[in-house]
Amino acid sequence: MGRGGSLFSSESVTCGHPDKLCDAISDTIVDACLKIDPDARVAVETLVKGMRDKSVIMLAGEVTISSNPPNYEQLARDAASEIGYNNHKIGMDATSQQLCDVQVNITTQAANIAQGVDRDGAGDQGIMFGFACKETERFSDLEGRYFPLAAALSQRVTRRLRIVRELPEDDSSYLGWARPDGKSQVTVEYDANGTPSRVHTVIVAIQHDSNLKDRFDGDEVQEHAFIKSEIIEHVIRDAIPSELLDENTIFTVNGTGRFADPAGPYADAGLTGRKVIVDTYGGMGRHGGGAFSGKDPSKVDRSAAYAARWAAKHVVAAGLADRCEIQLAYVIGVAEPVSIRVETFDTSVIPEDEIAEKIKQVFDFTPRAIIVALDLLRPIYSSTASGGHFGRTPGVDGEFPWEVLDAQLIEALST
How far apart (Å, rounded) are the C-alpha atoms in residues 23 and 14?
Answer: 11
> Does residue 44 carry a pLDDT above 60?
yes
Summarize pLDDT for 82-102 with one digit per residue, the tens.
999 999 999 999 999 999 999
Residue 117's pLDDT band, with cuts at 50, 70 and 90, is low
| Angle, in degrees to the nearest 10, between helices 352-362 and 300-317 | 120
How would you class 293 by CB atoms within 10 Å of its CB: exposed for 0-12, middle for 13-18, buried for 19 or more?
buried
Beta-sheet strands, E only, within 109-177: 126-133
Contact 385, 27 (CB under 8 A): yes
What is the pLDDT, as a whole number, of residue 321? 98
What is the pLDDT, as a whole number, of residue 123? 73
> Does residue 355 carry a pLDDT above 50?
yes
> Does residue 8 carry a pLDDT above 60?
yes
216 is catalytic: no
What's the mean pLDDT in 221-245? 98
> Does residue 118 carry a pLDDT above 60?
no
Residues of 273-291 as b/e, b for ≥16 C-beta within 10 angstroms?
Answer: bbbbbbbbbbbbbbbbebb
Contact 308, 284 (CB under 8 A): no
392 is catalytic: no
> Does residue 154 carry a pLDDT above 50?
yes
3-state secondary structure of 219: coil
What is the pLDDT, as a whole number, of residue 333? 85
CATH code of the domain made up of 6-14+149-263: 3.30.300.10
Element (H, E) at 6: strand 6-13
Mean residue pLDDT across the chain: 95
62 is catalytic: yes
Given the residues 17, 145, 179, 302, the one annotated as active site? 17
Given the residues 62, 352, 364, 397, the one annotated as active site? 62
Given the residues 8, 131, 147, 259, the one annotated as active site? 259
45 is catalytic: yes
Contact 199, 186 (CB under 8 A): yes
Please report, as a single letter, which amino acid is at residue 154. S
Residue 250's pLDDT band, with cuts at 50, 70 and 90, is very high
Given the residues 37, 141, 268, 364, the one annotated as active site? 268
Given the residues 160, 208, 224, 275, the one annotated as active site? 275
Nearest CA-CA partner of 77 in 62, 61, 60, 99: 99
299 is catalytic: yes
Summarize pLDDT for 384-414 with one digit per residue, the tens.
999 999 999 999 999 999 999 999 999 999 9
Given the residues 8, 11, 20, 131, the one annotated as active site? 20
Residue 3's pLDDT band, with cuts at 50, 70 and 90, is very low
| Whole-number CA gyration radius for the chain | 22
How far apart (Å, rounded) are the C-alpha atoms in residues 188 and 200?
Answer: 5
Given the residues 88, 213, 295, 358, the one annotated as active site? 295
Cα(first)–Cα(last) distance of the chain, in Å?
31
Summarize pLDDT for 285-330 with one digit per residue, the tens.
999 999 999 999 999 999 999 999 999 999 999 999 999 999 999 9
What's the mean pLDDT in 53-58? 97
What is the pLDDT, as a whole number, of residue 2? 40
> Does residue 222 carry a pLDDT above 90?
yes
220 is catalytic: no
Residue 1's pLDDT band, with cuts at 50, 70 and 90, is very low
> Does residue 103 carry a pLDDT above 70?
yes
Given the residues 45, 279, 322, 399, the one annotated as active site? 45
275 is catalytic: yes
Summarize pLDDT for 320-348 with one digit per residue, the tens.
999 999 999 999 888 999 999 999 999 99
Residue 185's DSSP bridge partners are 11, 203
What's the mean pLDDT in 135-142? 95
> Does residue 113 carry a pLDDT above 60?
no
238 is catalytic: no
What is the pLDDT, as a whole number, of residue 139? 95
Give the DSSP letter string of 71-86. Answer: -HHHHHHHHHHHHT-E
Given the residues 77, 145, 183, 309, the one annotated as active site? 183
Given the residues 274, 314, 389, 392, the one annotated as active site? 274
The residues near 83 (Cβ < 8 Å, ≥ 6 apart) are: 15, 16, 21, 24, 180
Span of 108-122, 150-164, 367-381, 390-404 with lowest mean pLDDT: 108-122
- For the chain, the domains span 6-14+149-263
Residues of 217-248 as b/e, b for ≥16 C-beta within 10 angstroms?
Answer: eeeeeebbebbbebbbebbbeebbbeebbeee
Given the residues 60, 114, 267, 269, the one annotated as active site? 269
Residue 122's pLDDT band, with cuts at 50, 70 and 90, is confident
What's the mean pLDDT in 35-53? 97
Given the residues 224, 299, 302, 392, the one annotated as active site? 299
